[in-house]
Amino acid sequence: MMEGKEKEPQLKTYIIDESAEGFRLDIFVRENYPLFSRTKTQLYINRGHILVNNEKVKKRALLKKGDQVEVDESVLKMETGRGLEPWDLDLEVLYEDEHFVAINKPSGVIVHPGNGKYTGTLVNALVYHFKKLSKGGDEHRPGIVHRLDKYTTGVILVAKTDSVHDAFGEMFYRRLIQKTYVAICIGQRPSQSGVINEPMGRCKNDPIRCCVRADGKDAITEYDLVAHKCGISVLKLHPKTGRTHQIRVHCSYCGFPIAKDIPYGGDKKKALTIEPLERPFAYKILKCFPHQALHARKINFIHPVTQEDVTISAPYPEDFCKAIEFFGEDLSLETMNAI
């Protein structure tokens, strides 16, 4: 039992809709509070800090549409509060001024703490390198206005002031920040250009993954085919919305998953769908990448303070450069750098 004055409850209520219907309570909570480990989440449910329809339920309770999930955030914040340990990671700074900084995020680095991991994230490195970062809406995510997946490389913006943090948030919401990705995909040949307009949500049988769902949220991705050879395509992509795993899910759904994106079907099994004589090239490309071949190449927007047009590009990592060389005359690094 804690000593001292008991804090007033700070209840936050979630109304379950179609996208969360059928989720287990503990999984739903972790989706909304990623800093809570599985053990901690279950402990809070058992203690009654998390209720469903004002009643204490088991962690495995399945949520139904219309259910009200109440979370006592005062207790959870009090029990999980902790500082951020600085991490001396060598960061490649692509742009910096007094308002924000742009980093070329390396593969394998998680953007912010969560799911019981509080060290070794990009945020820990930012705390080490920069004296001033925006507070944002979460004490464990200073400066973070958008995210990249753990194994996705490329440009990520980091706010230094709260005013610019809010401005970036509004600009992302209004789709005023244009993002360009480059992906190397495997499978069927895409059209020369196209728009993938398929709603998305979490997979009910695997909430770590996302999928196309009729009851999901709007998700739109535009793409252009840069090159294609032996079942391998190089795509330039412009996500118009910012759903979790959006590009990865959309490419997989259309039959050309990102190479080495194993959760979404971009592994060696996909190579078996390619003509036998073309498979050696596909296998050669797959070997270039330890993880999904997705790079956040460029970002463009109007500076929220100076009102100047800003374009920031991230150089391709070594695995991309190696794969491009294998294309020979069909694709050059000069062509890729022009994207």
Q: In the CATH scheme, what is the homologous superfamily, with its name and number, of domain 11-80?
A: RNA-binding S4 domain (3.10.290.10)
Q: Where are the beta strands (DSSP E) in the chain?
A: 11-15, 50-52, 68-72, 93-96, 100-105, 153-159, 178-186, 193-197, 200-203, 206-212, 220-229, 232-239, 294-302, 309-313
- Which of these is catalytic: 26, 149, 261, 319? 149
132-184: pLDDT as tens digits: 999 876 777 899 999 999 999 999 999 999 999 999 999 999 999 999 999 99
**Nearest by Cα to 226 from 191, 265, 188:** 191
Do the domains spanning 11-80 and 179-337 agree at the CATH topology level? no
pLDDT at residue 77 in the model: 54
Examine the residue annotation and report whether 149 is marked as an active-site residue of this protein.
Answer: yes
DSSP bridge partners of 12: 71
**Nearest by Cα to 253 from 285, 221, 225:** 221
93-174 in CATH: which number? 3.30.2350.10
Q: What angle is formed at CA 325 by the lines to CA 322 and CA 330, rounded to 5 degrees?
A: 145
CATH architecture of the domain covering 179-337: 2-Layer Sandwich (3.30)
Query: How many CB atoms neighbour CB 126 within 10 A?
Result: 25
**Average pLDDT of the segment spanning 22-44:** 80
Domain ranges, ordered by start, for the chain? 11-80, 93-174, 179-337
DSSP bridge partners of 158: 101, 144
200-243: pLDDT as tens digits: 999 988 878 999 999 999 999 999 999 999 999 999 999 999 99
